[in-house]
Amino acid sequence: MTRFAFDIHATDGKARTGTIRMMRGDIRTPAFMPVGTAATVKAMKMEDVRASGADIILGNTYHLMLRPGAERVARLGGLHKFGGWDRPILTDSGGYQVMSLSELRKITEEGVTFASHLDGSRHLLSPERSMEIQRLLGSDIVMCFDECPRADQPRDVIAKSMEMSMRWARRSRDAFNAGGEHAERSALFGIQQGALDERLRKDSADALTDIGFDGYAIGGLAVGEGQEAMFATLEFAPQQLPADRPRYLMGVGKPDDLVGAVERGVDMFDCVLPTRSGRNGQGFTWNGPVNMRNARHAEDTGPLDERCPCPTCTKYSRAYLHHLHKSGEMLGAMLLTEHNLWFYQQLMAGMRAAIAEGRFTGFAADFRRDYLAR
Ligand SMILES: [Zn+2]
């Protein structure tokens, strides 16, 4: 059994398509990972997540360590058994969410001490504890523990933060390697930092490559800098990372973000947008996002998207989805989330096929013409 392998089948410009092979299954790239924050992809049964085309989902260390607790998940047989998903799971390190969600944070070289946003209880997250939690969860792709600073801070603050994250990456590598049987069947990804600065991004990429990882994430983007600044950074950041390893852009994004990032050499993504939007009444279509609460859908007997083969579009009308969302019925969130996840997976499948057939430029142009038309 292969622990971890990445085969690139075709490239088109900077865009690549391939397969990541792991013990729990293959991951077709470019890949979109639905976010399963608290051992659930909200409003979705796991068999329906799989039916949408997902090869891998993401779990959040920060949420799971606080509730139900990593040790409890381990006693219950691990995250796959607990949540009913037998394919690969990527877990984040908790670093990003401890910065954005918890209170009373104190960051030192050792790690981050913080108070839980649930009950105020005190916790420490360090590289070693993050690796232990991800091992207890039974993660397939483990992420290094890092600090994700706001991109609008002075360069020396960004530099110092990045340098500490690189020391934490070394400690993460060592702690992961000491994980025994788990280390023999899972993978570890490093995370590039350095905000929007090309030189800092290069230094970060070099430090990570020296340590050596199975894959490399681009962190510190999609934190409010805007699409233009993100794309400008993606002109150089992916190319600074090893070409033969998967590149994962964390926390991205909108459908047009995904197309633009694949165009610049990114292979993997995760984002709450399709699931969160599904609960808030926003549906994604090939002609752009649609607010199902809008009165113009009230008597529309057509499907949400004419081209979508998902269970929602096959059976239900825009009028019905409008009614469910206006009434606050939970089925509205379920049906729209399911459509959105199918839409994202169809977009990824479309990009994979276009890259394989050497027509990605045309695919991206057609996508933007329809999706961004107003
Ligand atoms: Zn649909």
Give me ligand 1 centre to Cα 313, in Å: 4
119 is catalytic: no
Strands 141-143 and 187-192: parallel
Instruction: Measure 252 CA to ligand 1 centroid, in angstroms.
Output: 21
- For 252, other C-beta atoms within 10 Å of its C-beta total 23
Tens-digit pLDDT string for the chain (374 aa) = 899 999 999 999 999 999 999 999 999 999 999 999 999 999 999 999 999 999 999 999 999 999 999 999 999 999 999 999 999 999 999 988 888 887 778 999 999 999 998 999 999 999 999 999 999 999 999 999 999 888 889 999 999 999 999 999 999 999 999 999 999 999 999 999 999 999 999 999 999 999 999 999 999 999 999 999 999 999 999 999 999 999 999 999 999 999 999 999 999 999 999 999 999 999 999 999 999 999 999 999 999 999 999 999 999 999 999 999 999 999 999 999 999 999 999 999 999 999 999 999 999 999 999 999 96
SS3 call for 364: helix
Q: Which of 12, 92, 267, 305 is catalytic?
A: 92
Distance 373 CA to ligand 1 centre (A): 20
**Residue 12 appears among annotated catalytic residues:** no
Of 12, 48, 203, 270, which is the active-site residue? 270
Distance in Å, CA 40 to ligand 1 centroid: 21
Three-state DSSP at 239 gives helix
**Cα–Cα distance for residue pair 222/356, rounded to 1 Å:** 28
**Amino acid of residue 150:** R
Which residues make up the environment of ion ligand 1, defined by Cβ < 5 Å?
308, 310, 312-313, 339
